[in-house]
Chain A
């Protein structure tokens, strides 16, 4: 049986797809058979971030509609044998994701995989609720910014009431916070909510803090999950997040600004 992880946020543009690609790649690299599914029907992007956009033949909706089987639609990652991508449909109506259809595909994937990562679309509409419905774990991606934190809290309410686990009175979804685009210098200057500020409000299990980093855009430009960039702070931070998800107790790096010396501050160094 696979563990189903939803990457969600409510707000758009906070880094859900970047996170889904990074976590899926990280889990696969550590030896777990992992599938990552794009739930953003009509606006598919996970394939681009994963760098497999030219290999898409069939998609998630084709499988739901029995127009293709899973083996035809799953794209094997060229860098990691344990990782498969199930792309979203680009053209169809988002209502094509039925609760029964999604459940059937996840059940079938569960037979052969250890982890299924569901990349949710933004918002709280159908695609987003389908992405979280069957989840066992939720990674709530949040920027240290008022609208993102508020939307994350809203998503927590939905996770607690409208998921399969909630409806069948099972153990609730495990919720994790992933704080992205974190700028420790601005936090030090009092211009940005700190990890503690966000935790005071959301009080979730902190999976990781991903620093604002040029590496993220570079990685998406190239179609390479940023976790593969082991030179970058963001790549290393995602690596740590995967470790924490798997139960490792790792200190949070990149949370504190590097202290500048008196002279470099004086001369704007």
Chain B
């Protein structure tokens, strides 16, 4: 048993590394979420309402992304128009 342990312990084990990597990703994601302005969901809903007055887009067609960079914040809007609209244009 002691002898086995001795040889086994020389092999690299990685569960702590896995824990750290998973946590780093998760915590970065949690923090990004936390720092979003609270008006984002409303902004997204209202933009979608305006667009839907003119174009019949899907409820999930607008994505609003907020990113904080070193000196400025980026608010990114992504609107997917349906195929028929693109063909007409």
Contacts and interface: CB of A to CB of B under 8 A. Distances in A.
Interface residues of A, number: 22
A146 B19 contact: yes
Q: DSSP class of A's interface residues: helix, strand, loop or mixed?
A: helix
Contacts of B23: 146, 149-150, 193, 201
Given A149-B23, A157-B31, A200-B20, A268 B15 contact: no
B50 interface: no
Nearest to B22: A146
Contacts of A192: 16
A197 interface: yes
B34 interface: yes
Contact of B1 (A190, A197, A268): A268
Interface string A244-266: 00000000000000000000011
A154 B12 CA distance: 32
B9 interface: yes
Interface string A187-218: 10111111001001100000000000000000
B65 interface: no
B2 interface: yes
Interface in B19-73: 19-20, 22-24, 26-27, 30-31, 34
Interface string B1-16: 1110110010011111
Nearest to A152: B27
A145 B27 CA distance: 13
B87 interface: no
Contacts of A146: 19, 22-23
Contacts of A153: 27, 30-31
A193 B1 CA distance: 26
Contact of A267 (B2, B9, B22): B2
Given A149-B23, A150-B23, A190 B15 contact: yes
Given A265-B9, A268-B1, A269-B2, A191 B16 contact: yes
A139 B39 CA distance: 32
Interface in A166-203: 187, 189-194, 197, 200-201
Closest CB pairs A-B (n = 8):
A268-B2, A190-B13, A267-B2, A197-B20, A157-B34, A153-B27, A190-B16, A265-B6
Interface of A: 145-146, 149-150, 153-154, 157, 187, 189-194, 197, 200-201, 265-269
